Chains A and B, each alone.
Chain A
Protein backbone atom coordinates (compact mmCIF):
# COMPACT_ATOMS: atom_id res chain seq x y z
CA UNK A 1 0.00 0.00 0.00
CA UNK A 2 1.64 3.18 -1.25
CA UNK A 3 0.73 6.78 -0.37
CA UNK A 4 2.12 9.87 -2.07
CA UNK A 5 2.35 13.27 -0.39
CA UNK A 6 2.92 16.43 -2.48
CA UNK A 7 3.52 20.00 -1.32
CA UNK A 8 4.25 22.93 -3.66
CA UNK A 9 2.51 25.69 -1.71
CA UNK A 10 5.43 28.12 -1.48
CA UNK A 11 8.79 28.28 -3.26
CA UNK A 12 9.29 24.65 -2.31
CA UNK A 13 8.73 21.11 -3.43
CA UNK A 14 8.15 18.15 -1.14
CA UNK A 15 7.36 14.69 -2.48
CA UNK A 16 7.10 11.90 0.09
CA UNK A 17 6.42 8.22 -0.60
CA UNK A 18 4.96 6.09 2.18
CA UNK A 19 4.75 2.31 2.09
CA UNK A 20 2.18 0.82 4.50
CA UNK A 21 2.10 4.18 6.27
CA UNK A 22 5.86 4.49 6.80
CA UNK A 23 8.09 6.96 4.94
CA UNK A 24 10.28 5.13 2.45
CA UNK A 25 11.49 8.09 0.39
CA UNK A 26 11.43 11.87 0.42
CA UNK A 27 12.52 14.58 -2.01
CA UNK A 28 12.64 18.10 -0.63
CA UNK A 29 13.70 21.15 -2.62
CA UNK A 30 13.72 24.71 -1.31
CA UNK A 31 14.03 28.10 -2.98
CA UNK A 32 12.78 27.00 -6.39
CA UNK A 33 10.99 29.49 -8.60
CA UNK A 34 9.61 27.28 -11.35
CA UNK A 35 7.97 24.38 -9.56
CA UNK A 36 6.53 23.35 -12.91
CA UNK A 37 10.01 22.23 -13.97
CA UNK A 38 10.47 20.07 -10.88
CA UNK A 39 7.22 18.46 -9.76
CA UNK A 40 6.48 15.79 -12.36
CA UNK A 41 10.20 14.92 -12.84
CA UNK A 42 10.53 14.34 -9.10
CA UNK A 43 7.32 12.34 -8.78
CA UNK A 44 8.62 10.14 -11.58
CA UNK A 45 12.00 9.90 -9.89
CA UNK A 46 10.60 8.79 -6.55
CA UNK A 47 8.32 6.21 -8.22
CA UNK A 48 11.18 4.94 -10.41
CA UNK A 49 13.42 4.62 -7.33
CA UNK A 50 10.96 2.10 -5.96
CA UNK A 51 10.16 0.48 -9.31
CA UNK A 52 6.51 1.47 -9.16
CA UNK A 53 4.25 3.61 -11.37
CA UNK A 54 1.33 5.91 -10.58
CA UNK A 55 -0.94 2.84 -10.99
CA UNK A 56 0.62 1.32 -7.86
CA UNK A 57 -0.38 4.25 -5.67
CA UNK A 58 -3.28 3.73 -3.27
CA UNK A 59 -3.61 7.21 -1.85
CA UNK A 60 -2.56 10.79 -2.61
CA UNK A 61 -2.32 13.60 -0.07
CA UNK A 62 -1.85 17.04 -1.60
CA UNK A 63 -1.27 20.40 0.06
CA UNK A 64 -3.88 22.78 -1.37
CA UNK A 65 -2.71 26.06 0.17
CA UNK A 66 -2.86 28.72 1.33
CA UNK A 67 0.34 29.89 -0.30
CA UNK A 68 1.56 30.96 -3.72
CA UNK A 69 -1.42 30.78 -6.09
CA UNK A 70 0.65 29.33 -8.92
CA UNK A 71 2.65 26.98 -6.69
CA UNK A 72 -0.48 25.48 -5.16
CA UNK A 73 -2.15 25.08 -8.55
CA UNK A 74 0.79 23.08 -9.88
CA UNK A 75 0.61 20.53 -7.05
CA UNK A 76 -3.17 20.37 -7.06
CA UNK A 77 -3.47 19.99 -10.86
CA UNK A 78 -0.97 17.15 -11.04
CA UNK A 79 -2.35 15.31 -7.99
CA UNK A 80 -6.02 15.54 -8.93
CA UNK A 81 -4.97 14.37 -12.38
CA UNK A 82 -3.11 11.32 -11.12
CA UNK A 83 -5.94 10.49 -8.72
CA UNK A 84 -8.67 10.90 -11.33
CA UNK A 85 -6.89 9.01 -14.11
CA UNK A 86 -5.92 6.07 -11.89
CA UNK A 87 -9.01 6.18 -9.66
CA UNK A 88 -6.85 6.62 -6.58
CA UNK A 89 -8.20 7.99 -3.31
CA UNK A 90 -7.19 11.61 -2.74
CA UNK A 91 -7.39 14.06 0.14
CA UNK A 92 -6.21 17.63 0.62
CA UNK A 93 -4.35 19.01 3.61
CA UNK A 94 -3.79 22.74 4.08
CA UNK A 95 -0.29 24.16 4.41
CA UNK A 96 -1.31 25.30 7.91
CA UNK A 97 -2.53 21.81 8.84
CA UNK A 98 0.87 20.49 7.77
CA UNK A 99 2.47 22.79 10.33
CA UNK A 100 -0.23 22.03 12.92
CA UNK A 101 0.31 18.28 12.66
CA UNK A 102 3.71 18.90 14.21
CA UNK A 103 2.27 20.73 17.22
CA UNK A 104 1.37 18.74 20.31
CA UNK A 105 -1.30 21.03 21.68
CA UNK A 106 -5.07 21.54 21.38
CA UNK A 107 -5.47 25.33 21.25
CA UNK A 108 -2.89 27.19 19.18
CA UNK A 109 -2.13 29.16 16.02
CA UNK A 110 0.37 28.63 13.23
CA UNK A 111 1.26 30.96 10.37
CA UNK A 112 2.80 31.18 6.93
CA UNK A 113 4.21 34.47 5.62
CA UNK A 114 3.05 35.76 2.24
CA UNK A 115 4.13 39.03 0.55
CA UNK A 116 4.63 40.69 3.97
CA UNK A 117 1.16 39.55 5.01
CA UNK A 118 0.40 36.42 7.02
CA UNK A 119 -1.80 33.35 6.59
CA UNK A 120 -2.91 32.18 10.04
CA UNK A 121 -4.51 28.89 11.05
CA UNK A 122 -6.39 28.95 14.36
CA UNK A 123 -6.68 25.47 15.81
CA UNK A 124 -9.13 25.02 18.70
CA UNK A 125 -9.65 21.36 19.56
CA UNK A 126 -10.14 20.58 15.86
CA UNK A 127 -7.44 19.57 13.43
CA UNK A 128 -9.97 19.00 10.65
CA UNK A 129 -11.80 22.35 10.75
CA UNK A 130 -9.46 25.14 11.80
CA UNK A 131 -10.24 28.79 11.13
CA UNK A 132 -8.13 30.37 8.40
CA UNK A 133 -7.51 34.10 8.22
CA UNK A 134 -5.30 36.45 6.24
CA UNK A 135 -3.58 39.27 8.13
CA UNK A 136 -2.66 42.27 6.00
CA UNK A 137 0.87 43.65 6.03
CA UNK A 138 -0.03 46.68 8.18
CA UNK A 139 -1.73 44.52 10.83
CA UNK A 140 0.86 41.76 11.08
CA UNK A 141 2.95 43.27 13.93
CA UNK A 142 -0.07 43.91 16.14
CA UNK A 143 -1.52 40.47 15.47
CA UNK A 144 1.73 38.69 16.21
CA UNK A 145 2.19 40.48 19.55
CA UNK A 146 -1.40 39.84 20.67
CA UNK A 147 -1.59 36.19 19.67
CA UNK A 148 0.54 33.20 20.51
CA UNK A 149 1.67 31.89 17.16
CA UNK A 150 3.70 28.71 17.39
CA UNK A 151 6.81 28.61 15.27
CA UNK A 152 7.30 25.22 13.61
CA UNK A 153 10.91 24.85 12.49
CA UNK A 154 11.05 21.38 11.03
CA UNK A 155 8.27 19.23 9.71
CA UNK A 156 8.08 15.54 10.50
CA UNK A 157 6.30 14.04 7.51
CA UNK A 158 5.52 10.85 9.40
CA UNK A 159 3.56 12.97 11.83
CA UNK A 160 1.82 14.73 8.89
CA UNK A 161 0.74 11.33 7.57
CA UNK A 162 -0.65 10.27 10.96
CA UNK A 163 -2.70 13.47 11.34
CA UNK A 164 -3.88 13.34 7.71
CA UNK A 165 -5.69 10.09 8.58
CA UNK A 166 -8.37 12.27 10.18
CA UNK A 167 -9.05 14.08 6.88
CA UNK A 168 -11.74 12.87 4.46
CA UNK A 169 -11.22 11.57 0.93
CA UNK A 170 -12.59 13.79 -1.83
CA UNK A 171 -13.94 13.42 -5.34
CA UNK A 172 -10.90 14.37 -7.53
CA UNK A 173 -13.08 16.87 -9.46
CA UNK A 174 -13.54 18.76 -6.18
CA UNK A 175 -9.87 18.85 -5.23
CA UNK A 176 -9.04 22.52 -5.62
CA UNK A 177 -6.77 25.13 -4.08
CA UNK A 178 -7.72 26.77 -0.82
CA UNK A 179 -7.73 30.54 -1.30
CA UNK A 180 -7.80 32.70 1.82
CA UNK A 181 -6.78 36.05 0.42
CA UNK A 182 -9.09 38.06 -1.84
CA UNK A 183 -7.72 39.28 -5.14
CA UNK A 184 -8.25 42.78 -6.41
CA UNK A 185 -9.68 43.01 -9.89
CA UNK A 186 -8.78 45.87 -12.21
CA UNK A 187 -7.92 48.00 -9.17
CA UNK A 188 -11.54 48.95 -8.80
CA UNK A 189 -13.79 47.92 -5.96
CA UNK A 190 -14.64 44.49 -7.22
CA UNK A 191 -12.93 41.73 -5.31
CA UNK A 192 -13.19 38.04 -5.80
CA UNK A 193 -14.19 36.08 -2.75
CA UNK A 194 -13.55 32.46 -2.35
Chain B
Protein backbone atom coordinates (compact mmCIF):
# COMPACT_ATOMS: atom_id res chain seq x y z
CA UNK B 1 0.00 0.00 0.00
CA UNK B 2 1.19 3.48 -0.86
CA UNK B 3 2.44 5.59 2.03
CA UNK B 4 0.29 8.63 2.79
CA UNK B 5 2.04 11.85 3.76
CA UNK B 6 -0.03 14.59 5.39
CA UNK B 7 1.15 18.16 5.85
CA UNK B 8 -0.44 19.48 9.07
CA UNK B 9 -0.86 22.90 10.65
CA UNK B 10 -1.84 23.84 14.21
CA UNK B 11 -2.33 27.45 15.39
CA UNK B 12 -5.26 27.32 17.82
CA UNK B 13 -3.55 29.07 20.73
CA UNK B 14 -0.01 30.31 21.28
CA UNK B 15 2.02 27.84 19.22
CA UNK B 16 2.56 28.01 15.47
CA UNK B 17 3.28 24.44 14.49
CA UNK B 18 3.62 22.49 11.25
CA UNK B 19 4.42 18.86 10.64
CA UNK B 20 4.62 16.13 8.03
CA UNK B 21 3.15 12.84 9.21
CA UNK B 22 3.40 9.50 7.41
CA UNK B 23 0.43 7.11 7.53
CA UNK B 24 -1.01 8.91 10.55
CA UNK B 25 1.58 7.43 12.86
CA UNK B 26 5.14 8.39 11.92
CA UNK B 27 6.37 11.96 12.32
CA UNK B 28 8.62 12.82 9.38
CA UNK B 29 9.28 16.34 10.65
CA UNK B 30 7.82 18.69 13.26
CA UNK B 31 8.31 22.39 13.88
CA UNK B 32 6.84 24.22 16.88
CA UNK B 33 7.30 27.97 17.26
CA UNK B 34 6.10 28.96 20.71
CA UNK B 35 5.01 32.44 21.81
CA UNK B 36 5.21 31.60 25.49
CA UNK B 37 7.89 34.20 26.32
CA UNK B 38 5.78 37.02 24.89
CA UNK B 39 2.55 36.02 26.63
CA UNK B 40 4.27 35.48 29.96
CA UNK B 41 4.82 39.26 30.06
CA UNK B 42 1.05 39.65 30.31
CA UNK B 43 0.39 36.71 32.64
CA UNK B 44 -1.60 34.81 30.02
CA UNK B 45 -2.29 34.45 26.33
CA UNK B 46 -3.40 37.73 24.72
CA UNK B 47 -5.54 36.68 21.72
CA UNK B 48 -4.74 39.64 19.44
CA UNK B 49 -1.00 39.30 20.06
CA UNK B 50 -1.21 35.55 19.40
CA UNK B 51 -2.92 36.16 16.05
CA UNK B 52 -0.31 38.72 15.06
CA UNK B 53 2.56 36.40 15.91
CA UNK B 54 1.02 33.53 13.95
CA UNK B 55 0.79 35.78 10.88
CA UNK B 56 4.44 36.77 11.26
CA UNK B 57 5.48 33.15 11.77
CA UNK B 58 3.63 31.15 9.09
CA UNK B 59 6.10 31.20 6.22
CA UNK B 60 9.08 31.03 8.58
CA UNK B 61 7.61 27.97 10.32
CA UNK B 62 7.01 26.38 6.90
CA UNK B 63 10.60 27.07 5.82
CA UNK B 64 12.07 25.65 9.04
CA UNK B 65 9.91 22.53 8.75
CA UNK B 66 10.90 21.89 5.13
CA UNK B 67 14.59 22.27 6.07
CA UNK B 68 14.13 19.45 8.62
CA UNK B 69 12.05 17.23 6.34
CA UNK B 70 13.89 15.14 3.80
CA UNK B 71 10.93 15.05 1.44
CA UNK B 72 9.44 17.69 -0.84
CA UNK B 73 5.88 18.89 -1.31
CA UNK B 74 5.57 16.61 -4.37
CA UNK B 75 5.27 13.66 -1.94
CA UNK B 76 2.47 15.24 0.11
CA UNK B 77 -1.04 13.78 -0.29
CA UNK B 78 -3.14 16.25 1.71
CA UNK B 79 -3.04 19.35 3.91
CA UNK B 80 -4.66 19.17 7.35
CA UNK B 81 -5.42 22.04 9.70
CA UNK B 82 -6.93 22.66 13.12
CA UNK B 83 -10.15 24.61 12.46
CA UNK B 84 -11.63 24.43 16.01
CA UNK B 85 -11.81 24.93 18.95
CA UNK B 86 -9.47 27.70 20.07
CA UNK B 87 -8.79 31.39 19.62
CA UNK B 88 -10.65 32.43 16.48
CA UNK B 89 -8.07 34.89 15.16
CA UNK B 90 -5.26 32.39 15.71
CA UNK B 91 -7.14 29.50 14.12
CA UNK B 92 -7.90 31.64 11.06
CA UNK B 93 -4.22 32.19 10.27
CA UNK B 94 -3.61 28.44 10.18
CA UNK B 95 -6.79 27.77 8.21
CA UNK B 96 -5.96 30.39 5.57
CA UNK B 97 -2.37 29.21 5.24
CA UNK B 98 -3.56 25.59 4.86
CA UNK B 99 -5.95 26.64 2.09
CA UNK B 100 -3.07 28.49 0.41
CA UNK B 101 -0.85 25.39 0.43
CA UNK B 102 -3.78 23.34 -0.83
CA UNK B 103 -4.39 25.83 -3.67
CA UNK B 104 -0.74 26.15 -4.67
CA UNK B 105 0.00 22.41 -4.65
CA UNK B 106 -3.49 21.28 -5.66
CA UNK B 107 -3.92 19.09 -2.57
CA UNK B 108 -7.09 18.03 -0.72
CA UNK B 109 -7.80 19.99 2.46
CA UNK B 110 -8.73 18.24 5.73
CA UNK B 111 -10.26 20.03 8.70
CA UNK B 112 -9.29 18.61 12.07
CA UNK B 113 -10.70 19.29 15.52
CA UNK B 114 -8.02 20.21 18.02
CA UNK B 115 -9.33 17.74 20.62
CA UNK B 116 -9.34 14.91 18.06
CA UNK B 117 -5.71 15.91 17.54
CA UNK B 118 -4.94 15.45 21.23
CA UNK B 119 -6.61 12.03 21.17
CA UNK B 120 -4.78 10.90 18.01
CA UNK B 121 -1.46 11.98 19.54
CA UNK B 122 -1.80 8.46 20.98
CA UNK B 123 -1.49 7.08 17.45
CA UNK B 124 2.01 8.54 16.98
CA UNK B 125 4.61 5.75 17.11
CA UNK B 126 1.97 3.43 18.65
CA UNK B 127 -1.49 2.07 17.94
CA UNK B 128 -4.83 2.81 19.55
CA UNK B 129 -6.71 -0.45 20.18
CA UNK B 130 -10.50 -0.23 20.37
CA UNK B 131 -12.58 -0.21 22.47
CA UNK B 132 -10.74 2.22 24.69
CA UNK B 133 -11.33 4.80 27.36
CA UNK B 134 -9.92 8.26 26.71
CA UNK B 135 -9.21 10.60 29.61
CA UNK B 136 -9.33 13.99 27.89
CA UNK B 137 -7.73 16.67 30.07
CA UNK B 138 -6.85 20.14 28.86
CA UNK B 139 -7.40 23.83 29.49
CA UNK B 140 -10.87 23.61 27.99
CA UNK B 141 -11.86 19.96 28.45
CA UNK B 142 -12.25 17.30 31.09
CA UNK B 143 -14.05 14.29 29.62
CA UNK B 144 -14.12 10.57 30.05
CA UNK B 145 -14.81 9.22 26.57
CA UNK B 146 -15.39 5.72 25.28
CA UNK B 147 -14.12 5.08 21.75
CA UNK B 148 -15.25 2.06 19.74
CA UNK B 149 -13.51 3.02 16.50
CA UNK B 150 -12.03 5.95 14.58
CA UNK B 151 -13.96 9.09 15.45
CA UNK B 152 -16.59 7.07 17.34
CA UNK B 153 -16.92 8.88 20.64
CA UNK B 154 -19.32 8.18 23.49
CA UNK B 155 -18.97 10.69 26.33
CA UNK B 156 -19.34 8.94 29.67
CA UNK B 157 -18.77 12.04 31.77
CA UNK B 158 -17.63 15.67 31.64
CA UNK B 159 -16.75 18.47 33.97
CA UNK B 160 -19.73 20.30 35.43
CA UNK B 161 -17.81 23.57 35.67
CA UNK B 162 -14.10 24.35 35.10
CA UNK B 163 -11.84 22.17 33.00
CA UNK B 164 -8.91 20.68 34.92
CA UNK B 165 -6.27 22.76 33.09
CA UNK B 166 -8.34 25.87 33.71
CA UNK B 167 -8.49 25.01 37.42
CA UNK B 168 -4.71 24.48 37.54
CA UNK B 169 -4.17 27.87 35.89
CA UNK B 170 -6.67 29.67 38.14
CA UNK B 171 -5.25 28.13 41.31
CA UNK B 172 -1.75 29.09 40.14
CA UNK B 173 -2.95 32.66 39.68
CA UNK B 174 -4.56 32.70 43.15
CA UNK B 175 -1.29 31.47 44.65
CA UNK B 176 0.81 33.95 42.66
CA UNK B 177 2.55 31.25 40.62
CA UNK B 178 3.85 32.75 37.34
CA UNK B 179 2.53 31.92 33.84
CA UNK B 180 2.32 29.24 32.52
CA UNK B 181 0.50 28.44 35.76
CA UNK B 182 -0.33 24.75 35.32
CA UNK B 183 3.19 23.45 34.59
CA UNK B 184 4.71 25.73 37.24
CA UNK B 185 2.17 24.53 39.81
CA UNK B 186 3.14 20.95 39.00
CA UNK B 187 6.83 21.71 39.56
CA UNK B 188 6.08 23.33 42.91
CA UNK B 189 3.79 20.47 43.97
CA UNK B 190 6.62 17.98 43.44
CA UNK B 191 8.48 19.66 46.32
CA UNK B 192 5.54 19.56 48.75
CA UNK B 193 3.33 17.21 50.72
CA UNK B 194 -0.50 17.23 50.67
CA UNK B 195 -0.78 18.77 54.13
CA UNK B 196 -3.73 21.13 53.53
CA UNK B 197 -7.23 19.65 53.94
CA UNK B 198 -9.27 20.44 50.81
CA UNK B 199 -12.79 19.22 49.95
CA UNK B 200 -13.14 16.06 47.87
CA UNK B 201 -15.33 16.78 44.81
CA UNK B 202 -18.02 14.60 43.12
CA UNK B 203 -18.29 11.73 45.58
CA UNK B 204 -20.97 9.91 43.58
CA UNK B 205 -21.19 7.11 41.02
CA UNK B 206 -21.36 9.31 37.92
CA UNK B 207 -18.43 9.92 35.60
CA UNK B 208 -18.67 13.66 36.09
CA UNK B 209 -15.95 16.01 37.25
CA UNK B 210 -15.94 19.33 39.09
CA UNK B 211 -13.00 21.56 39.93
CA UNK B 212 -14.65 24.87 40.74
CA UNK B 213 -15.31 24.07 44.42
CA UNK B 214 -11.74 22.90 44.87
CA UNK B 215 -10.47 26.12 43.32
CA UNK B 216 -12.71 28.20 45.63
CA UNK B 217 -11.46 26.25 48.65
CA UNK B 218 -7.87 27.14 47.72
CA UNK B 219 -8.88 30.75 47.25
CA UNK B 220 -10.61 30.90 50.66
CA UNK B 221 -7.69 29.20 52.36
CA UNK B 222 -5.21 31.67 50.86
CA UNK B 223 -7.35 34.65 51.85
CA UNK B 224 -7.99 33.39 55.39
CA UNK B 225 -4.32 32.69 56.03
CA UNK B 226 -3.45 36.12 54.67
CA UNK B 227 -5.95 37.78 57.05
CA UNK B 228 -4.52 35.86 59.96
CA UNK B 229 -1.06 36.97 58.89
CA UNK B 230 0.09 33.38 58.29
CA UNK B 231 2.49 32.37 55.54
CA UNK B 232 1.20 29.83 53.04
CA UNK B 233 3.44 26.88 52.30
CA UNK B 234 3.05 27.16 48.53
CA UNK B 235 4.61 23.81 47.71
CA UNK B 236 2.33 22.02 50.19
CA UNK B 237 -0.79 23.84 48.96
CA UNK B 238 0.08 23.14 45.30
CA UNK B 239 0.63 19.51 46.24
CA UNK B 240 -2.65 19.32 48.18
CA UNK B 241 -4.60 20.75 45.25
CA UNK B 242 -2.93 18.54 42.67
CA UNK B 243 -3.44 15.44 44.80
CA UNK B 244 -7.20 16.01 45.23
CA UNK B 245 -7.71 16.99 41.56
CA UNK B 246 -5.80 13.93 40.35
CA UNK B 247 -7.63 11.68 42.79
CA UNK B 248 -10.91 12.73 41.14
CA UNK B 249 -9.59 11.68 37.73
CA UNK B 250 -8.33 8.40 39.19
CA UNK B 251 -11.64 7.60 40.93
CA UNK B 252 -13.72 8.21 37.79
CA UNK B 253 -11.34 6.25 35.57
CA UNK B 254 -11.39 3.42 38.07
CA UNK B 255 -15.21 3.43 38.07
CA UNK B 256 -15.30 3.31 34.24
CA UNK B 257 -12.77 0.46 34.08
CA UNK B 258 -14.81 -1.45 36.65
CA UNK B 259 -18.13 -0.91 34.85
CA UNK B 260 -17.08 -1.30 31.20
CA UNK B 261 -14.41 -3.96 31.50
CA UNK B 262 -12.38 -2.08 28.86
CA UNK B 263 -8.65 -2.84 29.00
CA UNK B 264 -7.22 0.04 26.94
CA UNK B 265 -6.81 3.58 28.27
CA UNK B 266 -5.36 6.68 26.64
CA UNK B 267 -4.71 10.11 28.12
CA UNK B 268 -5.14 13.09 25.82
CA UNK B 269 -4.87 16.86 26.06
CA UNK B 270 -2.30 19.37 27.26
CA UNK B 271 -2.65 18.36 30.92
CA UNK B 272 -1.48 14.85 29.99
CA UNK B 273 2.01 16.39 30.17
CA UNK B 274 1.56 16.40 33.98
CA UNK B 275 3.85 13.63 35.32
CA UNK B 276 1.98 13.16 38.61
CA UNK B 277 -1.34 12.67 36.81
CA UNK B 278 0.32 10.20 34.43
CA UNK B 279 1.77 8.13 37.26
CA UNK B 280 -1.45 8.10 39.32
CA UNK B 281 -3.58 7.03 36.34
CA UNK B 282 -0.98 4.37 35.55
CA UNK B 283 -1.51 2.93 39.05
CA UNK B 284 -5.28 2.72 38.41
CA UNK B 285 -4.73 0.99 35.06
CA UNK B 286 -2.30 -1.49 36.63
CA UNK B 287 -4.91 -2.35 39.24
CA UNK B 288 -7.36 -3.31 36.45
CA UNK B 289 -4.68 -4.91 34.24
CA UNK B 290 -5.44 -2.27 31.59
CA UNK B 291 -2.89 -0.86 29.15
CA UNK B 292 -2.24 2.83 29.51
CA UNK B 293 -1.03 4.91 26.57
CA UNK B 294 0.20 8.45 27.01
CA UNK B 295 1.70 10.43 24.13
CA UNK B 296 5.36 11.25 24.27
CA UNK B 297 5.83 14.53 26.09
CA UNK B 298 6.39 16.61 22.93
CA UNK B 299 3.08 15.37 21.49
CA UNK B 300 1.09 16.18 24.66
CA UNK B 301 1.22 19.94 24.30
CA UNK B 302 -0.09 21.71 21.19
CA UNK B 303 1.67 20.50 18.06
CA UNK B 304 0.88 19.83 14.41
CA UNK B 305 2.00 16.20 14.41
CA UNK B 306 -1.13 15.18 16.32
CA UNK B 307 -3.22 17.04 13.72
CA UNK B 308 -1.57 15.02 10.97
CA UNK B 309 -2.31 11.84 12.94
CA UNK B 310 -5.97 12.80 13.45
CA UNK B 311 -6.32 13.73 9.77
CA UNK B 312 -5.27 10.28 8.53
CA UNK B 313 -8.59 8.45 9.25
CA UNK B 314 -10.42 11.38 7.61
CA UNK B 315 -8.15 11.10 4.57
CA UNK B 316 -8.94 7.39 4.28
CA UNK B 317 -12.66 8.17 4.46
CA UNK B 318 -12.30 10.92 1.86
CA UNK B 319 -13.64 13.58 4.22
CA UNK B 320 -12.27 16.70 2.61
CA UNK B 321 -13.08 20.35 3.28
CA UNK B 322 -13.72 23.03 0.68
CA UNK B 323 -12.06 26.44 0.43
CA UNK B 324 -14.98 28.16 2.15
CA UNK B 325 -13.88 26.47 5.40
CA UNK B 326 -14.11 28.87 8.33
CA UNK B 327 -12.53 28.56 11.76
CA UNK B 328 -14.72 28.05 14.83
CA UNK B 329 -13.86 28.97 18.40
CA UNK B 330 -16.18 26.37 19.88
CA UNK B 331 -16.96 23.43 17.55
CA UNK B 332 -16.69 20.26 19.62
CA UNK B 333 -16.30 16.61 18.68
CA UNK B 334 -17.93 15.28 21.82
A: which residues have CB within 8 A of B? 34, 36-41, 43-44, 53-55, 69-70, 73-74, 76-78, 80-82, 84-86, 172-173, 176-177, 179, 183, 185-186, 190, 192
Contacts and interface: CB of A to CB of B under 8 A. Distances in A.
Contact of B89 (A37, A69, A78): A69
A69 B100 contact: no
A12 B297 CA distance: 43
A43 B56 CA distance: 22
Nearest to A42: B323
B92 interface: yes
Nearest to A54: B104
Contact of B103 (A54, A173, A186, A192): A54
24 contacts: A36-B326, A37-B326, A40-B100, A40-B103, A41-B323, A43-B103, A44-B103, A54-B104, A55-B104, A69-B52, A70-B88, A73-B52, A73-B89, A73-B93, A74-B92, A78-B96, A80-B59, A81-B58, A81-B104, A82-B104, A84-B63, A86-B104, A173-B63, A177-B55
B225 to A, nearest CB: 26
Given A44-B103, A73-B89, A84 B96 contact: no
Nearest to A73: B55
Contact of B326 (A34, A43, A44, A81): A34
A36 B55 contact: no
Contacts, number: 100
Nearest to B42: A185
Contacts of A39: 96
A131 B104 CA distance: 36
Interface string B31-74: 00000000000111010110110011011101100000000000
B290 interface: no
B327 interface: yes
Question: Would you call the interface of chain B mostly helix, strand, loop, or mixed?
Answer: helix
A33 to B, nearest CB: 10
Contacts of A38: 324
A192 B59 contact: no
A192 B96 contact: no
B97 interface: yes
A42 to B, nearest CB: 9
A77 B42 contact: no
B156 interface: no
B46 to A, nearest CB: 5
A40 B104 contact: no
A76 B55 contact: yes
B146 interface: no
A172 B271 CA distance: 36
A76 to B, nearest CB: 6
B48 A183 contact: yes
Contacts of A40: 96, 99-100, 103, 323
Contacts of A82: 100, 103-104
B49 A78 contact: no
A192 B100 contact: no
A36 B95 CA distance: 8
Contact of A77 (B43, B96, B105, B322): B96
Contacts of B89: 69-70, 73
Contacts of B104: 54-55, 81-82, 85-86
A36 B96 contact: yes
